[in-house]
């Protein structure tokens, strides 16, 4: 990523559920920017859970504070025991991922998110955010905007992954991309024959889901699409 190299190390692959939970955690922390001091205070109290190493030990971190119900609402999960178990399991998987970062002037490692703590006074969970995402939250480096209204409307796992991975299509803009490139965003490795046909079919269905939430998808030639992201909503 530019002049930085990031390596992710975990016990098991993450999926679209984990993506939605991570996006929701960051969104809830972003909503807390009205009280930056509170974010930083919670980040300081929970930073040990990030197990930071190297230069990351000195980096600032914030923390998200939320109930399971608020996180479910933000990510688009139904409230209830099954969804809450999904969320807790996802937070555990996310906290088991180590991120190693190497860039000019910085070399360190940390957990993708910290393991959550419980505020006994409010009953809220508190989850620390890693230094890279903290910089994005505080506006100290380039960042990507994710429309959580769109995330909540998406149902399929492939569509969730495409929605996130197509971050290089700016809001209000459109860009060309091949079907096989889209398949590589959703599936690991290369396949041929019936497996590849099934993957292409699944990605085409995912593109239809993006269209239902306002994206534009035009097949300009066989296997080549022009995909447009909706313009940023004005409030």
pLDDT digits (tens, 9 = 90+) for 32-68: 888 888 889 999 999 999 999 999 999 999 999 999 9
What's the confidence (pLDDT) of residue 234?
64
Say how far apart CA 84 and CA 172 lie, in whole Å: 35
Out of 61-70, 103-112, 114-123, which region has the weakest mean confidence (pLDDT)? 114-123
Of the segments 5-9, 35-39, 132-136, 185-189, which one has the largest average pLDDT value?
A: 5-9
What's the confidence (pLDDT) of residue 235?
52
The predicted model scores a pTM of 0.90
* CATH architecture of the domain with residue range 5-137: Orthogonal Bundle (1.10)
Confidence of residue 194 (pLDDT cuts 50, 70, 90): confident
DSSP per residue, 14-41: --HHHHHHHHHHHHHHHHGGGGHHHHHH
Contact in structure between 35 and 90 (CB atoms under 8 Å): no
What's the confidence (pLDDT) of residue 119?
86
Out of 97-101, 165-169, 185-189, 213-217, which region has the weakest mean confidence (pLDDT)? 185-189
Helices and strands (DSSP H and E) totals, the chain: 9, 10
Q: CATH number of the domain at 148-228, please?
A: 1.10.10
- Mean pLDDT, rounded, for 5-30: 94
Residues of the chain with CATH 1.10.10: 5-137, 148-228
Beta-carbon contacts of residue 108 (< 8 Å; ≥ 6 apart): 52, 53, 54, 55, 56, 57, 59, 100, 101, 131
- Mean pLDDT, rounded, for 202-230: 96
């Amino acid at each position: 990523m530019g002049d930085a190299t990031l390596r992710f190390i975990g016990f098991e692959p993450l999926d679209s559920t984990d993506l939605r939970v991570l996006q929701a955690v960051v969104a809830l922390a972003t909503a807390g920017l009205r009280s930056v001091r509170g974010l930083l205070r919670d980040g300081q109290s929970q930073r040990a859970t990030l197990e930071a190493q190297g230069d990351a030990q000195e980096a600032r971190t914030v923390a998200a504070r939320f109930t399971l119900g608020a996180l479910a609402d933000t990510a688009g999960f139904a409230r209830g025991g099954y969804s809450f178990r999904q969320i807790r399991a996802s937070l555990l998987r996310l906290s088991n991922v180590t991120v190693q970062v190497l860039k000019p002037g910085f070399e360190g490692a940390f957990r993708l998110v910290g393991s959550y703590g419980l505020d006994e006074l409010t009953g809220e969970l508190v989850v620390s955010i890693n230094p890279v995402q903290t910089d994005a939250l505080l506006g100290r480096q380039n960042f990507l905007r994710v429309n959580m209204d769109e995330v909540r409307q998406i149902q399929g796992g492939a569509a969730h992954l495409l929605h996130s991975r197509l971050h290089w299509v700016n809001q209000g803009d459109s860009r060309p991309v091949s079907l096989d490139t889209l398949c590589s965003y959703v599936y690991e490795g290369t396949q041929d024959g019936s497996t590849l046909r099934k993957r292409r079919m699944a990605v085409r269905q995912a593109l239809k889901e993006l269209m239902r939430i306002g994206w534009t998808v035009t097949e300009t030639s066989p296997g080549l699409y022009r995909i447009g992201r909706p313009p940023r909503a004005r409030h």
